[in-house]
Amino acid sequence: MSSAETTYLFRHALVRDAAYQLQPPGVRAELHGLALELIESAMGGPPPEPQLNGRGEAQYAPHQLDTVAAELAEHARLAGAASRDARFRYLRRAAWFAEKTFRAGDAVRFWSACAEEDPAQAPEALRHAGQAAQLDEQLPLAFSLLEKSAEAARATGDPFNEAVAIGTLAGNYRQLGQIDDAVAAYHRCLELLRAHEDEHECAVTLSNMASFLYEIGRIPEAEAAFDEALQLARKTGNRRCEGVALGNYANLLMDRRQIDEARKAAETALEIHREVGNRRFEAIALAGIANQHLDAGRNAEAEDYYHQAIVMHRETGQRRFVAIVLGNLALLYDGTGREEEAVRLTTEAMEIHRELNNRRGVGITLGNLSKFWLSRGETAKAEAGFLEALEIHVSVGNRHFEGYHRSEYSRLLLKTGRIEEARRHWLQAAATLEELGDHATRNDIGEQMIRDCKAAGIPPFTEESTKERPTS
């Protein structure tokens, strides 16, 4: 655009603003009201009010005006008291549309404004705002909004929004590694939902809790929760929840080496996510299938699925999951001779996890980076990294990676001549993985240990060899 055109547009904006400022406040309000009516008229009239489903949740039908709902809410605000209902209507639609188009930050802003505009709607609006803040990785804000939602729900006798707010708080505690708080919140949420006889939402909470229990190594409890979640999801027709639960259950099945069952669960989950339009979990399912391909040595297929997952995670604004998949892709690169690329991706993943204060992710990525440092001979750096990673794993209850990275740390100890320490850490790692039922990883670290001990000229680290050693 030429400078003359730029000048023209700038002056035009000044003339428009000057003309607006010359109008008395009452006339300005009328002009905003007129603008609201004209835009509605030009785009199919006002949208219908959301319909409540059998569980009292608002269901929205798409409308042409959704793309300009935020602007119409502002026109309604400036139009004054006469357009207050219209302001709430368009704020709510703007919030819903922001969620639908993966703009979590905008959803936080619009739902929060809804709560201010109509305090009677605060339990639901603040709960939605808190869920959006969690998706946007704004955990302190999410805590504040969800606690306010639960408080408002209790004050107004709204057990559904109180329960869901508490269940979402459990997810916050989970991300921060506050295990006891997360477990207590999940159980309180289920208590409220069961008292309210809400099996549909019980399925959702059980699915989330099962995934968390799996993460912290409480496998029998996780299996029971997955089983109950899937039963309730199918009973109530909650296909979205069924897909999420199946996808997460596939990870547990992989650890148990139930390969065919894991593959079927992951593929069915992906089909369901696509059926219901759950693109966030579609991306997670793609990454899960990539992990299965990697485990089976199908590296080309794994790489393709990882790249698909990264693209979709970025489109849906899930930076934490971008970092997780980058870390997994780095492992593939490392195993296929692309160590420099592996280090670069792992470092990028670490930066995201640290920025988001995702301690679980930091621990996993730091442990993986420490393996790279050890392979390059940066022993002191690797040891510091392993020790920090292990401390994080213990604090957030990540027993899977505690076992795996402890076995890798034992290799460092063996290489530096600290044989007894190496033996102790390896046995602890093996016991952890056995307890979790992760026999595949347990076998892998056992085979690696035998090779390492042979190279060092010492007997393998076994319980028997420990017992046979004389005591001083």
Segment 425-441, tens digit of pLDDT: 999 999 999 988 888 88
Share of the chain above pLDDT 90, in %: 73
In this structure, the answer to whether residues 380 and 327 fall within a common structural domain is no
Q: What are phi and psi of 457, to 5 degrees?
A: 75, 30
- Alpha carbons 472 and 470: distance in angstroms, whole number: 7
Tens of pLDDT along 180-228?
A: 999 999 999 999 999 999 999 999 999 999 999 998 889 999 999 999 9
Would you state the structure tokens that stand for residue 34, as one six-digit string?
Answer: 């007129």
In this structure, the answer to whether residues 327 and 412 fall within a common structural domain is no
Helices of type H across 64-121: 69-79, 84-100, 104-117
In this structure, the answer to whether residues 371 and 431 fall within a common structural domain is yes
H or E element: which one contains 52? strand 51-52
Would you state the structure tokens that stand for residue 272, as one six-digit string?
Answer: 């369901």
> Is residue 328 in a domain?
yes
Burial of 140 (0-12, 13-18, 19+ CB in 10 A): exposed
Contacts of 159 (CB under 8 A, 6+ apart): 153, 192, 193, 195, 196
In this structure, the answer to whether residues 329 and 363 fall within a common structural domain is no
Compute the half-sphere exposure of residue 443: CA atoms within 13 Å on the CB side of its CA: 7
On average, the pLDDT of the chain sits at: 90
Contacts of 234 (CB under 8 A, 6+ apart): 242
For the residues 363-369, what does the mean pLDDT come to? Answer: 95
| pLDDT over 90 at 5, yes or no | no
In this structure, the answer to whether residues 159 and 265 fall within a common structural domain is yes
Per-residue confidence band for 256, with pLDDT thresholds at 50, 70 and 90: confident
> Is residue 61 in a domain?
no
pLDDT greater at residue 28 or residue 248: 248
pLDDT at 452: 94
Contact of 104 with 132, CB cutoff 8 Å? yes
pLDDT at 25: 66
CATH code for the domain in which residue 397 is found: 1.25.40.10
In this structure, the answer to whether residues 311 and 349 fall within a common structural domain is yes
Residue length, the chain?
472
Contact of 304 with 278, CB cutoff 8 Å? no
Per-residue confidence band for 166, with pLDDT thresholds at 50, 70 and 90: very high
Contact of 334 with 342, CB cutoff 8 Å? yes
User: Nearest 5°: CA angle at 294, between 293 and 298?
Assistant: 60
Contact of 142 with 130, CB cutoff 8 Å? yes
For the residues 403-427, what does the mean pLDDT come to? Answer: 96
> Is residue 20 in a domain?
no
Widest CA span of the chain, in angstroms? 96
In this structure, the answer to whether residues 229 and 180 fall within a common structural domain is yes
| pLDDT over 90 at 76, yes or no | no
pLDDT at 304: 97
In this structure, the answer to whether residues 307 and 369 fall within a common structural domain is no
In this structure, the answer to whether residues 107 and 77 fall within a common structural domain is yes
pLDDT at 1: 42
pLDDT at 16: 53
Contact of 87 with 76, CB cutoff 8 Å? yes
In this structure, the answer to whether residues 183 and 107 fall within a common structural domain is no
For the residues 114-122, what does the mean pLDDT come to? Answer: 92
Any bridge partners for residue 231, and if so which? none
End-to-end CA distance of the chain: 86
Domain count, the chain: 4
Instruction: Count CB neighbours of 160 within 10 A.
Output: 19
CATH code for the domain in which residue 312 is found: 1.25.40
Per-residue confidence band for 257, with pLDDT thresholds at 50, 70 and 90: confident
Tens of pLDDT along 306-316?
A: 999 999 999 99
> Is residue 282 in a domain?
no
Compute the half-sphere exposure of residue 168: CA atoms within 13 Å on the CB side of its CA: 30
> Is residue 148 in a domain?
no
pTM above 0.85, yes or no: no
| pLDDT over 80 at 468, yes or no | no
Which domain does 71 fall in, by range? 25-42+66-129
Per-residue confidence band for 29, with pLDDT thresholds at 50, 70 and 90: confident
> Is residue 52 in a domain?
no
Contact of 278 with 238, CB cutoff 8 Å? no
Tens of pLDDT along 328-355?
A: 999 999 999 998 999 999 999 999 999 9
Candidate from 119-128, 397-406, 438-447 with smallest mean pLDDT: 438-447
Domain boundary (226, 243, 277) is at 277
Per-residue confidence band for 105, with pLDDT thresholds at 50, 70 and 90: very high
Domain boundary (319, 353, 387) is at 353
In this structure, the answer to whether residues 231 and 117 fall within a common structural domain is no
Domain boundary (277, 311, 337) is at 277
Per-residue confidence band for 23, with pLDDT thresholds at 50, 70 and 90: low
For the residues 447-456, what does the mean pLDDT come to? Answer: 94
In this structure, the answer to whether residues 111 and 179 fall within a common structural domain is no
> Is residue 289 in a domain?
no
For the residues 261-266, what does the mean pLDDT come to? Answer: 96
